[in-house]
Amino acid sequence: TPQSLLKHLLRNYTALIRPRSKYEDPISVDVLFALTAFGGLNEKSQVMSITGWWNITWYDEFLNWDTVQYNTTSIVIPSNQIWLPDIVIINGEDDYGILEKVSSRIKLDHNGHVSWFPGGRYNIFCKMDIQYFPFDRQVCEVSIASWNGDTDRIQILGKPPKFDAVFYSDSPQWSMDKLFTNHSDYNQHSQTIQIVFALQRKPTFYVLIIIVPTVTLSLLSNLVFILPVESGEKISFSVSILLSYIVLMTLTSGILPDNSDKVSILGIYFGALLILSALATFTSVIVSYLHY
C-alpha cells in the first residue's frame, strides 16, 4: 500500500541531509518555469508581476523501491517530507523568494526521480529603459540561484521556459516577444539562472491619450501668430495652450519612473514644446502691449 511504501522510504530518511551516499557528490537540479499569466509591468515602481509554476527535478538516491513488492511506480507526498534544493528568487520585490517555503506536492518515481511543482505569483524588480516610451521594449529577468551558492554541491540547470498553453493569460499593455533562459557563473562557486522576458509595449492607449493630443496642441499653438490682436483672445489662447502642455507633462510623469537613467524622447519633446509655448505667450503679451 502507499502507506507502507511511504513508511519504508522515510524510516531512516532525514530531509536535512543531501540525498547522496557520497556526500561530496553534486546533485544536478533541472529547473523549468511555466508562465500562466503575465500581470504587467509597473513603470513607476519598476516591478514586473507574473504568475506561474516550476517543474524542478533531481534524483534522490535514498528514495527508490521495488515496483513488484509495492505494486506502484510512483507516489505523491507533501514537499516537507523530503530533502529539497534551496532554490531562491534573488531579485524579488519583497524578500528572497525561497521556493521551499511554498506548500506543494512531490511526485516520487520508483527509480528515485523526484519532481517538484511549486508555483505562485511573483513580483520581480525590472530596471526599465523608457527612452522610446511608448514604443519601448523592456527586458526583465527572474534570477534564481542556490541559497548556499556552492556549485560543488548543487548544480542548477535551467531548461527553456514555456507558456502554459491551457491557462496562459496575456497582458493588455504588453506583448511577450521572447521567453528564454540564460546561465551566469560569477565564479566557480556561484551560479545564477536568469529567465528572461523580452517585452514589447502595446502603444495604442498612450498614443490616443498623450501623443495625439500633444501633436494637436502643437499644431494649434501656431494659430496664435495669426490671431488678430483686436480679438482680445491672443494672450488667453497662448496661456491655454501652455497649461495644456503642463497637464500632459504631469500625466506622463505620473506614469514613468523617477530614476530612469535615460530621459524619454517624449519628455524632451514636451520640454521643447513647453519652451516654445512660453515664448509664444511672452510674444503675445509684448505684441498686445505695443498694440494698445
What pLDDT, on the 0 to 100 scale, is given for residue 116?
93
The residue among 80, 79, 83, 78 whose CA lies nearest residue 63 is 83
Evaluate whether 121 touches 154 at the Cβ level (below 8 Å). no
pLDDT tens digits along 259-269: 667 788 988 89
More confidently predicted of 257 and 227:
257
What pLDDT, on the 0 to 100 scale, is given for residue 292?
65
Rounded-to-integer distance, Cα 29 and Cα 195, Å? 16
Q: 193 forms bridges with which residues in the sheet?
A: 144, 183
What is the C-alpha radius of gyration for the chain, rounded to an integer number of angstroms? 29
Domain boundaries, the chain: 2-202, 205-291
In this prediction, residues 24-47 reach a mean pLDDT of 90
pLDDT tens digits along 236-291: 888 888 888 889 888 888 888 776 677 889 888 988 988 888 888 888 778 776 66
What is the DSSP code string of 233-262? -HHHHHHHHHHHHHHHHHHHHTTS-TT-SS
Helix H segments across 155-254?
Answer: 204-206, 212-220, 234-253
The residue among 237, 219, 216 whose CA lies nearest residue 284 is 237
Evaluate whether 113 touches 76 at the Cβ level (below 8 Å). no
Element holding 291 (H helix, E strand): helix 265-291
If phi > 0 it is left, if psi is from -120 to 50 it is alpha, else beta; for residue 149 that is left
Report the CATH architecture of 2-202: Distorted Sandwich (2.70)
Cell of 81: 517530507
pLDDT-above-90 percentage for the chain: 27
To the nearest 10°, the Cα dihedral for 226, 232, 235, 240?
A: -90
* pTM, rounded to two decimals: 0.82
pLDDT tens digits along 186-223: 555 567 899 999 999 999 999 999 999 999 988 888 87
- Biggest CA pair distance of the chain: 108
Cell of 17: 541531509
Evaluate whether 194 touches 182 at the Cβ level (below 8 Å). yes
pLDDT tens digits along 141-180: 999 988 776 667 788 888 988 887 677 878 889 998 889 9
Q: Give the amino acid at 244.
A: S
In this prediction, residues 37-63 reach a mean pLDDT of 91
Q: Which residue matches cell numbers 498612450?
A: 206
Rounded-to-integer distance, Cα 32 and Cα 55, Å? 5
Residue 91 clears pLDDT 70, i.e. is over it: yes
Residue 231 has, within 13 A of its CA and on its CB side, a CA count of 11
Going by the DSSP 8-state scheme, the letter that residue 210 receives in this structure is: I
pLDDT tens digits along 57-88: 999 999 999 888 888 899 998 888 899 988 88
The residue among 42, 74, 255 whose CA lies nearest residue 138 is 42
Task: Tell me the pLDDT of the chain averaged across its residues.
Answer: 85
Rounded-to-integer distance, Cα 13 and Cα 241, Å? 76
What pLDDT, on the 0 to 100 scale, is given for residue 154?
83
Q: Buried b vs exposed e over 57-85: b needs ≥16 C-beta within 10 Å?
A: bbbbebbebeeeebeeeebebebeebbbb
The residue among 148, 37, 25 whose CA lies nearest residue 88 is 148
Residue 95 clears pLDDT 70, i.e. is over it: no
What is the band of 232 on the pLDDT scale with cuts at 50, 70, 90? low
The residue among 279, 271, 273 whose CA lies nearest residue 225 is 279
